[in-house]
Structure 1
Amino acid sequence: MGKFNNMLKKNTLCIITFLVIVIVLSVNVFFLIHTRGIIKNIEYQNSVGIKSINVNLNENIKKLSREDKRYIGIIKVPNETKNITNLRFMFIEEKDINGIVNCIIVILILCMLLIYLTIKEIKKYNCKQIKSAISKDALTELINYDKFVLESRFYLQNRKSSNCIMVSFDIDKFKLINDVYGYKTGDEILKCISKNLKLYFGDRIVYGRLTGDVFGIIMELYNKEKKIPYIAQTITNKIGNISSSDIDINIDLSIGIYDIQQESNIKKIIDNADMARLKSKEYRYQNYAIFDEKLSQEKKKLMQLEQDLFSSIKNNELILHYQPKFNINNEKIVGSEALIRWQHPTIGMISPMAFIPIAEKTRFINNIGKWVFEEVCSKIKEWTEEGINVVPVAINLSRVELYQPDVIENLKAILTKHRVNPKLIEIEITETTALNDIDFINKKLTDIKSLGIKVAMDDFGTGNSNLSNLKDIPIDVLKLDRSLLLDIENNKRTEVMVKSILSLSKNLSLSTVCEGVENRNQVEVLKSTGCEVVQGYAFSKPIEIYEYKKLLK
């Protein structure tokens, strides 16, 4: 509304001029009628006819001093005298009538013109508002992605040299900040960063908010090799400094830098800087990365891998290996874990560490998880019918899968389809998954247990491990991560710690599995701690299905 008022202020002179002319013309009409007009009053009986009035009227006109007078109106005036009506007639000269008509016409034209100009200005104002809304980010009032592309193109076309860089930066763990402190706090951080950009850079360069918490900068930079670290430090300390605000949070930035040189494709420039930004998150001792062609090649490989993954199930490229679990005392097989592998037609065997993150990112993990569960149940049914002594098989369930609304229905449907005893299935979730959104995860785990399936917490000891959490999470099995056992044969404190965890688990009625047991020395130490079930290379590596079947026999 304030901007609309400013628009009206700019046109005040024009509006006042129009109004003055209209008022002057209106006064002129009033003046002509009241000073040049001649009024005649005539009394009539109420019963008199129109014909008599016309005759009387004509006689009165003849009595006027000027013959060019014309009758322009009649006014009926009330009279208290019974049966008497006063009629007031007005006469005015022809030229004055023409003047009045002309004034009225001009007034109407001016009013219409004023309305037209007002509508035009309103449309102009609305267009500006729409353009501003389209090109500006509403929260930070910085230019958005589309406007950034346009202004960057213009900036690079008019640059004085080829010494330009593109900087892309974002806030580390911004989603976590929103989840923990709320979106209002997240918005305030974004506004604080945009304010810092304006204060530090002014209008000398191009900068804007590209998406979410990602900001972009295009600027000229001489002596790049020496100044790029300085620019990264400046963005970290100056732009990322929100200590002056009311927000008591320390934030870290991830920064990607691309040396533009002769490149003119703006979207490619932004993409390259983004690739460097994502790469910087992998670094431990610095928060920025500079783009090189290796990053581009890596991205192309990942994109191709992603596309190939979508057809992996259809092309029967996914296979399962099984890693047995053994009773540590009699060394008999008591269970196993199904581990997925991808036999790529050109690359060869691909580790799940390489493709599971891609699957989770694209949500294709839901398809993979369903395939694994179906495959395991199918094999258990087949082996049972063959009279083989089947042991429980553990299947990993990702956080993404747990959040699917139909995950329980799918598990139940597959169990029913293959008529598998649910006691032969165990679902494994990681410690990190279990401790994230505890109320929701607990509800899902309870629903899984209601199917008769046991639940295991995998990788215990890798996250923010807290033994007190074990009493709140509905699990049946606790799997100790290999990181807890690495030096158990040489470190008495490690042995005591593992023994304490095993003792506590037993008191909580939890079965325990020590995974990643690599050698016989570890086995002997674990026997003394009370460990009962182990999994690792000391007994067996993950094996193909035909080897596992032989082991069961």
Structure 2
Amino acid sequence: MKNKNTHYIVFFIVFACGVVANFMPWEWSPLWVFSVLALVLSFYTKKFLSKYYSVLDSVKKRIEIDELTGLYSRYQIQQELSQLILNCHAQDKKLAALVLDLDHFKTINDAFGHEIGDKLLASVAQRLVFVCPPQAVAGYLGGDTFLVLLALNSDQGKSDLVTLSKSIIDHVSQSYLVDALTLNIGCSIGVAMYPEFGLDAAALMKNADMAVYRAKSAGRATYYFYDGEMGKQFARNVRIETRLRQALQNERLELHFQPKVDLITEHCVGMEALLRWNDEELGRVSPAEFIPIAEQTGVILPLGEWVFEQTFRHILEWQKQGITVPPIAINCSAAQLKRVDFLPKLLMLLDKYKIDPSLLEIEVTESILIEDAKSCAELLRQMSHLGIKLAIDDFGTGYSSLSYLKDLPFHYVKIDQVFIRNIVDDKSHAALTNAIISLSHSLNLKVIAEGITSLEQLTLLREYGCDIGQGYLFSKALGADSLASDPMIVALNEQAL
């Protein structure tokens, strides 16, 4: 079927059959019958093959070229990459693979529909072709991801790729007019180099993917070059995720509780629940390392539920032992608060352990207020009506809008320890801390300073009028079993008598 002369072959075979039949001892000659048959079969065979090869060419073109963007398809760009690697190996050249991922494309798809999203992708592809040098090869990997391949000449290096990356980001990030809608979208770029960081197509694309992920983590609308350390870190992150899931299933995590202190009386007025993890393989893993990984992988959801339940269990055990328990603060991630079942599950746990909501304080970061302000505001109001205290955590490091303090039912503002750490030596940090405290007091909010480690910091914070502090100057985070013997908790219980 692959031979384009098949119709001629069919004709001559049938005609030959007629010639042979002509010499057979028949009463009449069938040559004319076979001749007509040969012509008819030849005509229809040619027609069929013409249609067959037309369909075959169309399918081949669809495999090679993406219909939506007009760029090479995922399959074909991978073939092009493999061929370029062979060419660069033979010519001792370097090759750059640039993975381009659009920022917040899903938001546009959700807001305006997939048809608008598809048209936007086609426009992005056009700009990508325009801005890339003629020798570059561009393809569409699917979703909101593109791949650009560029074999470097001997006089080209990393600086040329930096220039190209910046130019792509600049052109892609300009406004688009799609069906009378003005749309804005940015992009992040990850770059991996052959032969340093990938000897085949799969390895090079995997490393470029890791680099674009790092670019997004760095704030998006930027570029990042893959290096060897990134691969090691990625492998460690994967291991941390795997071990964290196992630790959660096997109850290998611990909750510690750090006292919060009234800066005037130095009495304990609350505690913060803090996760601690000492893994058999990884050793002691800092929350600063495993919490972001938990948020990125979705482990934060079951982890958050575990923290709430363990906290309530401890409260119940302390109460049975006759220990006066101050309010306990729990950090909540944006992923937790976005879940529609967050509050029902919380209420179920409060009822299960018979915990007074006034013993609970929820700490949220400013980012959730930016991402989903309307639904978040309603959730916070519902929790406040139940008697749960609310605090903005790490204030000053995020988007810091005064409207959050004015319009939402917060009780506390928690100043990030980055400011407290340098408050004595850095006048700008001291001024900002003072301003935050003054602003919060004018809005009838109390201020918590975390990370207090010295008397000099404490003196300044008292001078500024800060209400509550926490840090190693007062107490480290305590295990649940040792809490009853802590001097601050002992003093708290003596006051209650």
TM-score (structure 1 length as normaliser): 0.70
Whole-angstrom distance in 2 between the partners of 1:229 and 1:177: 33
1-structure distance, mates of 2:197, 2:388: 61
**Which of 137, 148, 154 lines up with 2:83 in the alignment?**
154
1:505 corresponds, among 432, 443, 451, to: 443
The answer on whether the counterparts of 2:334 and 2:368 sit within 8 Å (CA) in structure 1 is yes
1:168 to 82, 98, 102: 98
Q: Does 1:326 align with 2:326?
A: no
Matched ranges for 1:39-188 at <5 A:
125-158=54-87, 160-171=90-101, 173-175=103-105, 178=108
Partner of 1:233: 163
Which residue is equivalent to 2:213?
Answer: 278
User: What is the CA–CA distance in structure 2 between the aligned matches of 1:537 and 1:179, rounded to whole Å?
Assistant: 48
Structure 1 residues 494 and 444: CA distance shift in structure 2, 3 A: closer
**Equivalent residue runs for 1:462-541 within 5 Å:** 462-485=397-420, 488=423, 493-494=431-432, 496-506=434-444, 510-541=445-476
Amino acid at match of 1:236: K
- Report whether the alignment pairs 1:361 with 2:303: no
Is residue 454–residue 475 contact of structure 1 (8 Å, CA) maintained in 2?
yes
Aligned partners of 1:244, 1:477: CA distance in 2, in Å?
A: 40
Instruction: Tell me how far apart the structure 2 counterparts of residues 417 and 136 of structure 1 sit (CA, whole Å).
Output: 59
CA gap 1:208/1:307 in 2 versus in 1, 3 angstroms? same
**CA deviation after TM superposition for structure 1 residue 180, in Å:** 11
The one-letter code sitting in structure 2 at the alignment partner of 1:167 is A
Cα deviation for residue 444 of structure 1 reads 2.3
Name the SS of the counterpart of 1:311 in structure 2. Answer: helix
Residues 182 and 363 (structure 1), Cα distance of their counterparts in 2 relative to 1, 3 Å cut: same
Q: Which residue of 2 aligns with 1:335?
A: 270
Letter in 2 for 1:207: A
Residues 179 and 549 (structure 1 numbering): CA distance in 2 closer, same or farther, change over 3 Å? farther
Q: Could you say which residue in structure 2 is the equivalent of 1:218?
A: 149
Question: Mapping of 1:256-271 within 5 angstroms?
Answer: 256-260=191-195, 265-271=200-206
Residue 233 of structure 1: CA displacement? 0.7
Q: Return the offset for 1:317.
A: 2.0
Counterpart residue number, 1:82: none
> Alpha carbons of 1:187 and 1:174: their partners in 2 closer, same or farther (altered >3 Å)?
farther
- Output the CA distance in 1 between the equivalents of 2:210 and 2:324: 51
The answer to whether the 8 A contact 1:395-1:427 is kept is yes
- Give the secondary-structure state (helix, strand or coil) at the position aligned to 2:270: strand
Where structure 1 has 5 or more consecutive residues not aligned to the other structure, the ranges are 1-101
Q: Secondary structure at the match of 2:247?
A: coil
Contact 1:207/1:216, CA 8 A, preserved across alignment: yes
Give the match for residue 390 of structure 1. 325
Query: Partner letter of residue 145 of structure 1?
Result: R
CA distance in 2, matches of 1:241, 1:534: 48
C-alpha contact 2:415 2:448 (8 A) present in aligned 1:
yes
CA distance in 1 between counterparts of 2:264 and 2:237 reads 45
CA distance in 2, matches of 1:463, 1:256: 28
Task: Look up the match of 1:347.
Answer: 282
Unaligned runs of 5+ in 2: 1-32, 491-497
In structure 2, distance between residues paired with 1:339 and 1:124: 67
Q: Would you say the 8 A contact 2:276–2:287 is kept in 1? A: yes
Question: In 1, Cα distance between the equivalents of 2:122 and 2:67?
Answer: 10
Q: Between the two structures, name the one with larger relative contact order (CA 8 Å, sep ≥ 6).
A: 2
Q: Is the 8 A contact 1:169 1:256 kept in 2?
A: yes
Query: What is the CA-CA distance between 1:186 and the residue it aligns to?
Result: 6.5
Provide the TM-score with structure 2 as the length reference: 0.77
Contact 2:84 2:151 in 1 (8 A): no
**In the aligned structure 2, how far is the partner of 1:115 from the partner of 1:240?**
56
Query: Deviations along 1:144-171, whole A, 9 cap, x unmatched?
Result: 3222112322343455423131322325
For 1:275 and 1:220, the matched residues in 2 are separated by 21
Contact 1:426 1:454 in 2 (8 A): yes
Q: Distance in 2 between matches of 1:145 and 1:516?
A: 50
- Measured against aligned partners, the alpha-carbon deviations of 1:440-484 in whole angstroms (never above 9, x if no partner) come to 112222343454422222122221212232232233333233345
Deviations 1:471-509 (A, max 9, x none): 322333332333454555557744651342232231xxx
Matched AA of 1:166: A
Aligned length: 447
Contact 2:85 2:200 in 1 (8 A): no
Map of 2:480 onto structure 1:
545
| Alpha-carbon distance in structure 2 between the residues aligned to 1:127 and 1:452 | 69
Aligned residue in 2 for 1:91? none
Contact 1:259 1:291 in 2 (8 A): no
CA spacing shift, 1:147–1:252, aligned 2, 3 Å: closer
Cα–Cα, structure 1 residues 114 and 325, in superposed 2: closer, same or farther, change >3 Å?
farther
How far residue 367 of structure 1 moved from its aligned partner, in angstroms, is 1.0
Aligned mates of 1:122, 1:474 — CA distance in 2:
71
Contact between 2:257 and 2:477, CA under 8 Å: does it hold in 1? yes
Secondary structure of the structure 2 residue equivalent to 1:154 = helix
Give the Å deviation of 1:376.
Answer: 0.5
Indicate the SS of the match to 1:464.
Answer: coil
In the superposition, relative to structure 1, how do residues 550 and 260 fare at CA in structure 2: closer, same or farther (>3 Å)? Answer: same
1:365-380 equivalences under 5 Å are 365-380=300-315
The alpha-carbon distance between structure 1 residues 162 and 280, as it changes in their structure 2 partners (threshold 3 A), is farther
Q: Secondary structure at the match of 2:476?
A: coil
Do the aligned partners of 1:458 and 1:479 also contact (CA within 8 Å) in 2? yes
Aligned pair in 2 of structure 1 residues 117, 400: CA closer, same or farther (>3 Å)?
farther
Instruction: Name the aligned partner's letter for residue 97 of structure 2.
Output: V
> Compared with structure 1, are the counterparts of its residues 531 and 199 closer, same or farther at alpha carbon in structure 2 (3 Å cutoff)?
closer
The 1:175–1:428 alpha-carbon spacing in structure 2 relative to 1, beyond 3 Å, is farther
CA distance in 2, matches of 1:332, 1:151: 69
Q: Which region of structure 1 is more displaced relative to structure 2, 522-531 or 141-150? A: 522-531
Deviation at 1:248, TM superposition (A): 8.2
1:149 counterpart letter in structure 2: Q
* Aligned-partner Cα distance in 1 for 2:276–2:251: 11
For the aligned residue pairs, the C-alpha RMSD in angstroms reads 3.8
Give me the identity figure in percent: 28
- Secondary structure at the aligned position of 1:312 is classed as helix
Distance in 1 (CA, whole Å) between partners of 2:403 and 2:397 is 16
